[in-house]
Amino acid sequence: MYQRIAYIALVVEDYDEAIEFYTKKLDFTLLEDSIIDEKKRWVMVAPPGAKECCLLLAKAANEQQTERIGNQTGGRVGFFLFTDDFWRDYAKMTEREVDFVRPPTAFEYGTVAVFKDLYGNLWDLIEPNENNKGLIGKL
């Protein structure tokens, strides 16, 4: 038996501004941008090198969805961006004015800083180290 998580839906206000943020500020790759109808598109982005899972940018279609933009996980970190070079990516993202809300911190499992996406969702930028002892996955 084989299963995998293929997409994670991220509710956004606007397709184009979300694409701009993820591709220009975080260097994600735009995998697909297909028009479904006059209001809906199928938009997928992923970090460079990602093989298993990507974000499906889903434009809010009603008031209930609009209320969730930027707070899909109730204020906790909900997304985890692993990197093979924390300081390279942290410097690049800081230069591009990504909003870091918690500074870089070294833990026994790796180096982490928390940032907000364009809508306020919290993300960990994390470089796991060799001593992570199974607390988090490896790259």
**In the chain, where are the structural domains located?**
1-69, 72-139
pTM attached to this predicted model: 0.91
Q: β-strand 122-128 against 110-116: which pairing, if any?
A: antiparallel
Cα(112)–Cα(122) distance, integer angstroms: 12
The answer to whether the 1-69 and 72-139 domains have the same CATH topology is: yes
User: Residue 55 corresponds to which tokens in the numbers above?
Assistant: 């974000």
Asked whether the predicted pLDDT for residue 30 surpasses 90, the reply is yes
**Which H or E element spans position 113?**
strand 110-116
Determine the topology of domain 1-69 in CATH: 2,3-Dihydroxybiphenyl 1,2-Dioxygenase; domain 1 (3.10.180)
Q: What is the pLDDT of residues 32-68, one digit of tens each?
A: 999 999 999 999 999 998 988 999 999 999 999 999 9
Residues in the chain: 139
| CATH architecture of the domain with residue range 72-139 | Roll (3.10)
